[in-house]
Amino acid sequence: MNRSLRDFSGNVWERWGSRLKRGFLFGLLASVCAAAGAKPARAQMNPYFTAISNTMPKNHLMLMLLPDYQLARVGPNYLTYMGMAEYGVTNRLSVGFMAEGQKINGLPNTFGGVRFNTYYQLFPHDHLLHLTLYAEYEDLDQASLYKMEVSGFGVSDLTEPLHVARNLPAHTLEQRIITYHNWGRLNATFNFISEFDLENHNDYFGYVWGLFRQPCWDAMSAMAGMSGTNGMRSKPIAPPRLSSRRLGYGVEMMGGLGDTQQFGFFWHREQQYLGPVFSYSLAPNWRFRLEPTFGLSSVSDHFVLRMGLDYTINHLFGHQLG
Distance CA 276, CA 304 (A): 12
Q: Is the pLDDT of residue 70 over 90?
A: yes
CB proximity list for 198: less than 8 A, separation 6 or greater: 171, 172, 173
Amino acid symbol at 43: A
Res. 219 pLDDT band, cuts 50 70 90: low
- pLDDT of the residue at 255: 97
Q: Is the pLDDT of residue 180 over 80?
A: yes
pLDDT attached to residue 297: 95
pLDDT at 179 over 90: yes
Nearest to 256 by CA among 211, 299, 304: 299
Q: What pLDDT is attached to residue 315? A: 84
**What is the pLDDT confidence band of residue 220, given thresholds at 50, 70 and 90?**
low
Least confident range of 28-37, 54-63, 110-119, 218-227: 28-37
- Residue 35 pLDDT exceeds 70: no
Nearest 10 degrees: Cα torsion 252, 258, 264, 268: -70
Confidence class for position 217, pLDDT limits 50, 70, 90? confident
Q: Determine the average pLDDT of the residues in 96-124.
A: 94
Does 24 have pLDDT greater than 90?
no
Q: DSSP character for 21?
A: H
- The whole-number pLDDT of residue 182 equals 92
Q: What percent of the chain has pLDDT over 70?
A: 79
* pLDDT at residue 300 in the model: 96
Query: Which bin fits 113, alpha (ψ -120 to 50), beta or left (φ > 0)?
Result: left
Helix H or strand E encompassing 296: none
Q: What is the dihedral of CA 70, 71, 72, 73, to 10 degrees?
A: -140
The answer for 182, left when phi > 0, alpha when psi is -120 to 50, beta otherwise, is beta
User: Who has greater pLDDT, 19 or 233?
Assistant: 233
pLDDT class of 225 with cuts at 50, 70, 90: very low
* Low-confidence winner among 41-45, 63-67, 141-145, 237-241 (lowest mean pLDDT): 41-45
Which residue did the predictor score with more confidence, 105 or 321? 105
Q: Is the pLDDT of residue 232 over 70?
A: no
- Tens digit of each residue's pLDDT (9 = 90 or more) over 4-16: 434 434 443 344 4
Task: Look over the chain and give the mean of its residue pLDDT values, rounded to a whole number.
Answer: 84
- The residue extents of the domains of the chain are 42-310
Average pLDDT over residues 160-180: 91
Task: Look up the CATH number of domain 42-310.
Answer: 2.40.160.40
Look at 11-15, 118-122, 148-152, 203-207 and tell me which has the smallest mean pLDDT. Answer: 11-15
Higher-pLDDT residue of 8 and 255 is 255
Whole-number percent of the chain with pLDDT over 90: 65
How does residue 195 score in pLDDT terms, banded at 50, 70 and 90? Answer: very high
Which residue in 248, 272, 270 sits closest to 259, CA to CA? 270
**Which of 60-69, 84-93, 193-202, 226-235 is least confident?**
226-235
The answer on pLDDT for 187 being more than 50 is yes
